[in-house]
Each structure stands twice: as C-alpha cells, then as structure tokens.
Amino acid sequence: MSRPSSFALPACVPRAAERLRSNAPCETSNTTPMATQSPVAPPLAPPKSPRPFVAGLRTALTSVFSLVLFGTYLGIGALAHDFGFSVHWIVAATLLVWAGPAQVILVSALGAGAAPFEVAIAVSLSSLRLLPMVVSLLPVIREPGSPAWRLLMPAHFTAVSMWVETMRIAPNMPRALRVAFCNGVGAGFMFSACVASVAGFYLAAKLPSLLTAGLLFLTPIAFLISVTRNAKWLVDRLALALGLVIAPVLVVFDVGLDILWTGILGGTIAYAAHRWREGMA
Amino acid sequence: MTMLGTELTAYVLLVLVGFLPNEVWRWLGLVVSHGLDEDSEIVVWVRAVATAVLAGVIAKLTLFPPGALLLVPLPLRLVAVVAGVIGFFLIRRSVFAGVVVGETVLMGGTLILAR
C-alpha cells in the first residue's frame, strides 16, 4: 500500500487507534477472573468491548469510499427499480452479494431475461478479485489460535472499499482488536450501501438520466483510481494496463468468458515480465 | 414481480445466481489464506490475475456500459476516465479528487454536448 495521501480522516484514525491501544490492558484484566474460574478457558479471550467495532464503523462512515458506495448503490437501487425488482430484493442482494459490479450484472442480466447459468458465470467472473483480497487480508487480522469461523464475517465483508481501509489501518492496532475493527468497517460500508439502495430505488423515477449515468460511472472510475494508487509494483501496473486492453479486444472479437481470459492472460503475462526482469537483475 | 411465485423465484435466483457464485471466492479465500505467506510467488501471480480481472471489469463497464451510462457518448466516457486519473495524480494523489474530476468531465461534458 502506498502512503495514505489526503485520503479520509488523517487525524482522527491514529487517535482512535491509540485509544484502542490504551484500552487493551483493561480488556486483558477483564478476562483474568474468567480464566481462573475455568482452567480450560483459553488465556486470550476475544475482546468483549464494542469499541474496536465502533472505531471501524466510524472509519467507514468518514471514508471517501462511503460517498462512492452511496452513489454507486443509489445507481444500483435505481437500476433494480427499472428492471422490476422489489426494494426488499435489492436490499437482500446488497447484504448477500456485497459487490458492486456483480450486482449491476445480476440486476441487468436477470432483468433482461438472460439464462441463469450465464448470469452465474458472469457474476462469478466479475468477483474473482475477491479471492486474492481475502487471501491477503485475513493473515493481517487473524489472531493465532482463534477459530476459523471468526473470519467468516470479515471474509463476507471483503470488498474493494473495506479491503483498502482495513489494510491501511488494522496493522497499527493490537492484533486482538483487528477482527472486530474489520467487522465494523465492513458493517459501516454495508450500512451506507443499504440506505443508498433504498433511496435509489424510490428516487429512480425522479433521478435525471444524466445523474444516473454519473452514478453508474462511479464504480469504474473509483475502482480504476484506487487500483492505480495501490499498484506500486511493476507486475501490478502491467496487469492493470494489460487488463484494460485485453478485455475490450476479447469482447469485440466475441470471445466467450472474456473476463476469465483477461485475468489469466493479463495476469500471467505481467507475472512472466516480472520474473524475466528479476532474472535480468 | 408482484405475484408470490415470481417474487420467490427472484429470491431463489438471488441466492443461486448472485450470492453463491460470488461468495465462493470469499470462502475459497478463507481456505487458501490458511497458512499462506503473503509474499509467496503464487500470491504475486494470483494478485496479478486479480488486478487484470478488475481492469477488465473496469474497461467493460466503461466501453460497454449498462443502462443510462450509454447516454454518454463513448469518446466523452474515455476522456472522463483519463481526466479522472490525471486529476488523481495532480491533486495530491487523492482518490476523491480523481473521482470528482472524472464525474465533472463526464456530466459537464454531456450537458455541453447536449446544447
């Protein structure tokens, strides 16, 4: 990750992290009586305090991504309305799917009457990025010896927005508080997205088409800029550039599974170039 | 989508075609991340594949957009994307600034072209 520039609450977050750190000792002392009562109890109980969760909520709601998500989901809510889905359905979709491009594909393809199997493939390919994001996030927040199910919610909350903010802030916190913090960030972003989905659904008829166009443009532009910002190594920059070029070419030549091939081709060429350069050095 | 049957179908489709194909990557990530070193060569390659996939999604959403974004002519969409990235680099590498510049060019340009 590159240094955070003017990106969201530069002053408030270190202070929040510090407050959490100073709270850590009293949390450990709270667990001591429990540990003496039952000799089987693990020495490090998970933190009971809601504070890291609240710090995560605050981080999410004051982040630039809350605005981007709000706008994006305003557009997705309006799209769902236009394709004839119910407001409950689109909120359920936001809670369950929790991935902007996948939801745009889901709504527009299902609404247009595409075959369910094709929709499932398209949704799945658009969300491939979640795999490496989860793989790189979980080792940062995991507490050694804690059960794997504690990571189920952080895995579900993983999205570009949450990944960027958690990877930036969680490494500065005590390890015991990171999962709760991460859940707070995810819940905060999901909350703004749900509010926006409902607002977008009811505003759909009133939104000028130019504004809807602008909202749909938020996802590609915000993704492109945040990926550009995070791509500090040659291999990532090359993969970004190759992906931008390969996908449209495959679409124009009507090659099936274009996103999958874009990933495999672009990623492998970028990786090969990176290995070749390492060999040269 | 007013009839109960149609409504129920919509929810079944949401789980089968939306939730599961999407969530499988998160569950797979949960399994794969177990005991994996972040700097290993496989992770470098997987990250490159993911970046290329994300770039592909960005390109498709910009060039072959859904719904109302088609209203904006293709050359203007491309100019807005480039302007947003330039705005990001020029204005303190701020994601927010880049997004604002891109959106301003997109919507302002559409208004000017429409006159």
pLDDT tens digits, one per residue of A47-78? 455 689 999 999 999 887 898 899 889 989 98
Cβ atoms A63, A161 nearer than 8 A: yes
Amino acid code (one letter) for B4? L
- In chain A, where does DSSP find H-type helix? 12-37, 51-61, 64-82, 87-96, 100-111, 116-126, 130-141, 152-157, 160-169, 175-203, 209-230, 234-252, 258-280
Query: Which of A132-136, A209-213, B50-54, B89-93 is most confident?
Result: B89-93
d(CA A149, CA A164): 22
When CB atoms are compared, the residue of B22, B45, B49 closest to A102 is: B22
Query: CA of A281 to nearest chain B CA: how many angstroms apart?
Result: 17
Q: Is the pLDDT of residue B76 over 60?
A: yes
pLDDT tens digits, one per residue of A128-165? 878 878 988 888 888 888 888 999 999 999 998 898 78
Contacts of B111 in chain A (CB under 8 A): 210
pLDDT of residue A50: 60
When CB atoms are compared, the residue of A68, A132, A238 closest to B50 is: A132
d(CA B60, CA A149): 36
**B32: closest CA among A129, A96, A138, A166?**
A138
pLDDT of residue A155: 96
Sign of the CA dihedral with B74 first, then B76, B82, and B85 last: negative
Residue A169 DSSP label: H
Cβ atoms B44, A231 nearer than 8 A: no
Contacts of A220 in chain B (CB under 8 A): 57-58, 61-62, 81
Averaged pLDDT, B68-83: 92
Among chain B residues, the shortest Cα distance to A117 is held by B17
Burial label, A220 (beta-carbon count in 10 A; 0-12, 13-18, 19+): buried
Mark which residues 14-33 of B lie under 8 Å from A by CB.
Answer: 14-30, 32-33
Averaged pLDDT, B18-42: 85
**A96: closest CA among B35, B13, B62, B73?**
B13
Residue ranges of chain A whose pLDDT lies below 70: 1-50, 281
Instruction: Kindly indicate whether the ipTM for this predicted assembly is greater than 0.90, answering yes or no.
Output: no
Contact between A128 and B49 using a beta-carbon 8 Å cutoff: yes
Among chain B residues, the shortest Cα distance to A88 is held by B11
pLDDT of residue A19: 44
**SS3 string of A249-265?**
HHHHCCCCCHHHHHHHH
Averaged pLDDT, B3-29: 88
When CB atoms are compared, the residue of B30, B43, B94 closest to A138 is: B30
